[in-house]
Amino acid sequence: MLQKLQQFFQKKSVKYSIPFLVLVVGGSFGLKQFTENRYRFRRNKFLDKEEAEKWGILKKDKSEVTLETEFEKVKQINISDWENKRGPRPWEQVTEK
Protein backbone atom coordinates (compact mmCIF):
# COMPACT_ATOMS: atom_id res chain seq x y z
CA MET A 1 0.00 0.00 0.00
CA LEU A 2 2.79 2.41 0.92
CA GLN A 3 4.65 1.59 -2.29
CA LYS A 4 1.56 2.30 -4.41
CA LEU A 5 1.09 5.62 -2.63
CA GLN A 6 4.73 6.56 -3.27
CA GLN A 7 4.37 5.62 -6.94
CA PHE A 8 1.23 7.75 -7.17
CA PHE A 9 3.05 10.81 -5.76
CA GLN A 10 6.05 10.24 -8.05
CA LYS A 11 3.95 10.69 -11.18
CA LYS A 12 4.79 13.90 -12.99
CA SER A 13 1.19 15.05 -13.29
CA VAL A 14 0.52 14.60 -9.57
CA LYS A 15 3.91 15.94 -8.51
CA TYR A 16 3.34 19.30 -10.21
CA SER A 17 -0.44 19.65 -10.29
CA ILE A 18 -1.18 19.26 -6.56
CA PRO A 19 1.16 22.09 -5.45
CA PHE A 20 -0.17 24.28 -8.26
CA LEU A 21 -3.78 23.71 -7.26
CA VAL A 22 -2.97 24.32 -3.60
CA LEU A 23 -1.25 27.59 -4.57
CA VAL A 24 -4.17 28.78 -6.72
CA VAL A 25 -6.90 27.88 -4.21
CA GLY A 26 -4.90 29.09 -1.21
CA GLY A 27 -3.99 32.30 -3.03
CA SER A 28 -7.60 33.12 -3.72
CA PHE A 29 -8.48 32.73 -0.04
CA GLY A 30 -5.46 34.82 0.95
CA LEU A 31 -6.37 37.60 -1.48
CA LYS A 32 -9.91 37.55 -0.17
CA GLN A 33 -8.65 38.25 3.34
CA PHE A 34 -6.34 41.06 2.18
CA THR A 35 -9.05 42.83 0.19
CA GLU A 36 -11.54 42.43 3.03
CA ASN A 37 -9.12 44.10 5.44
CA ARG A 38 -8.32 46.86 2.98
CA TYR A 39 -11.94 47.82 2.49
CA ARG A 40 -12.80 47.46 6.17
CA PHE A 41 -10.09 49.89 7.30
CA ARG A 42 -10.38 52.22 4.33
CA ARG A 43 -14.13 52.73 4.63
CA ASN A 44 -13.97 54.28 8.10
CA LYS A 45 -11.16 56.74 7.40
CA PHE A 46 -12.12 60.36 6.81
CA LEU A 47 -9.75 63.25 6.17
CA ASP A 48 -9.95 66.47 8.11
CA LYS A 49 -9.99 69.75 6.24
CA GLU A 50 -6.31 70.55 6.91
CA GLU A 51 -5.13 67.14 5.73
CA ALA A 52 -7.26 67.35 2.58
CA GLU A 53 -5.79 70.77 1.78
CA LYS A 54 -2.30 69.38 2.36
CA TRP A 55 -2.89 66.62 -0.18
CA GLY A 56 -4.44 69.05 -2.66
CA ILE A 57 -7.87 67.46 -2.54
CA LEU A 58 -9.61 70.61 -1.37
CA LYS A 59 -9.11 73.83 -3.30
CA LYS A 60 -8.32 76.83 -1.14
CA ASP A 61 -9.90 79.27 -3.57
CA LYS A 62 -13.52 78.69 -4.35
CA SER A 63 -13.54 80.10 -7.91
CA GLU A 64 -16.33 78.42 -9.81
CA VAL A 65 -15.49 76.63 -13.04
CA THR A 66 -18.28 76.70 -15.56
CA LEU A 67 -18.63 75.59 -19.12
CA GLU A 68 -18.80 79.20 -20.32
CA THR A 69 -15.51 80.21 -18.65
CA GLU A 70 -13.71 77.22 -20.10
CA PHE A 71 -15.15 77.98 -23.55
CA GLU A 72 -13.82 81.54 -23.32
CA LYS A 73 -10.35 80.20 -22.50
CA VAL A 74 -10.45 77.90 -25.53
CA LYS A 75 -11.61 80.73 -27.83
CA GLN A 76 -8.50 82.76 -26.92
CA ILE A 77 -6.12 80.03 -28.14
CA ASN A 78 -4.80 80.63 -31.66
CA ILE A 79 -4.75 77.25 -33.41
CA SER A 80 -4.03 78.49 -36.93
CA ASP A 81 -0.50 79.73 -36.14
CA TRP A 82 1.54 76.81 -34.84
CA GLU A 83 4.90 75.21 -35.53
CA ASN A 84 5.70 71.51 -35.50
CA LYS A 85 8.73 70.89 -33.28
CA ARG A 86 10.42 67.53 -33.43
CA GLY A 87 11.61 66.06 -30.16
CA PRO A 88 15.07 64.55 -29.77
CA ARG A 89 15.45 60.88 -30.58
CA PRO A 90 17.24 58.50 -28.17
CA TRP A 91 20.06 57.90 -30.64
CA GLU A 92 20.66 61.62 -31.26
CA GLN A 93 22.93 63.58 -28.98
CA VAL A 94 21.32 66.51 -27.28
CA THR A 95 23.51 69.60 -27.51
CA GLU A 96 22.69 72.43 -25.16
CA LYS A 97 23.39 75.96 -26.30
What residue spans define the domains of the chain? 2-75
Our CA angle for 74, 75, 76, nearest 5°, is 90
Residues 3-29: tens digit of each pLDDT? 888 888 888 888 888 889 999 999 998
For residue 44, the model assigns a pLDDT of 58
- Cα–Cα distance, 1 to 6 (Å, whole number): 9
Q: What does the radius of gyration of the chain's CA atoms come to, in whole angstroms?
A: 31
Say if residue 69's pLDDT is above 70: yes
Tell me, yes or no, if the pTM score tops 0.85.
Answer: no
